[in-house]
Amino acid sequence: MGVMPTDDAIKMALERDLDLVEVASTADPPVVRVLDYGKFRYEQAKKEREARKTQKNLELREVRMRPRIDKHDIEFKTRMVRKFLTEGHKVRIFVLFRGREITHPELAMGLMRRVAEDLQEEAKLEKAPAMEGRTMTMVLAPVAKKPGATPAAAREPKPEAEPKPEVKAEPEAKQEPEAKLETETKQETEPEPEPEEKASAKA
């Protein structure tokens, strides 16, 4: 409607049986809207109730480690951090130094780097590792999942099936004709002729 005197704006709202509501008091000139204020407040309250229903109770979870932690404990702590991240929580990881351990901050830095690399698909680095007194802290925040994203476990390639051994068919042995076989058998079994009797001696 443009810029107009305040009295004209009030008159316009009364003519329409609506309210004149200031929505931007710091602007020059101030910005107002002509609307039903009761209905406006009802819709705002409804939106706030719906937002509270869907809003998660997010917290900053903490996981403590030591500089000389063993491999099994690192894997256990990493699984714990991953669980918090999948629930939508931020996680603050801190390494506590005791005694002369403070002289080896590189151990804690390597530990932090390893955890961050293992969780790079589930988390983003919100606060880089930094020393705070006798502790080194790092904050990880969950990564917003894209719709239709495939879990990491499902992306692992399935083992390929072992190829079946090829079987080579041998050609069948040729069979000799039966007639030839019978001929050879007949020759082997035929008796030899007996020698003729010698002529009797001359008288």
Residue 64 predicted with pLDDT over 60: yes
Query: What's the confidence (pLDDT) of residue 12?
Result: 84
Q: What pLDDT was estimated at residue 161?
A: 52
- Which structure tokens are listed for 183? 């001929």
pLDDT value at 90 more than 80: yes
Q: Say what the pLDDT of residue 163 is.
A: 54
Per-residue pLDDT at 68: 87
- Tell me the whole-structure pTM to 2 decimals: 0.46
**pLDDT tens digits for 110-145?**
999 999 999 988 899 998 998 888 899 999 999 876
* 102 closest CA partner among 70, 68, 62, 127: 68
3: pLDDT strictly greater than 50: yes
Q: Is the peptide bond before 105 cis (omega within 30 degrees of 0)?
A: no
Whether pLDDT at 67 is above 70: yes
pLDDT at 73 over 80: yes
Confidence class of residue 202 from pLDDT cuts 50, 70 and 90? very low
Quote the percentage of the chain above a pLDDT of 70: 67
Would you place residue 194 in the very low, low, confident or very high pLDDT band (cuts 50, 70, 90)?
Answer: low
**pLDDT tops 70 at residue 36:** yes
Structure confidence at residue 198 (pLDDT)? 47
Instruction: Provide DSSP, the chain.
Output: -----HHHHHHHHHHTT-EEEEEETTSSSPEEEEE-HHHHHHHHHHHHHHHHHH-----EEEEEE-TT--HHHHHHHHHHHHHHHHTT-EEEEEEE--GGGGG-HHHHHHHHHHHHHHTTTTEEEEEEEEEETTEEEEEEEEPPPPTTPPPTGGGSPPPPPPPPPP-PPPPPPPPPPHHHHHHHHHHHHSPPPPPPPPPPPP-
- Taking 60 as the threshold, does the pLDDT of residue 169 lie above it? no
Q: Which residues contact 81 (CB under 8 A, 6 or more apart)?
A: 63, 91, 93, 115, 119, 123, 140
**Domains defined along the chain, listed by start:** 6-54 (3.10.20.80), 60-145 (3.30.110.10)
> pLDDT digits over 140-166, tens only?
999 876 555 554 444 445 555 555 555
Q: What is the pLDDT of residue 83?
A: 92
Q: What sign does the CA torsion over 183, 187, 188, 189 have?
A: positive
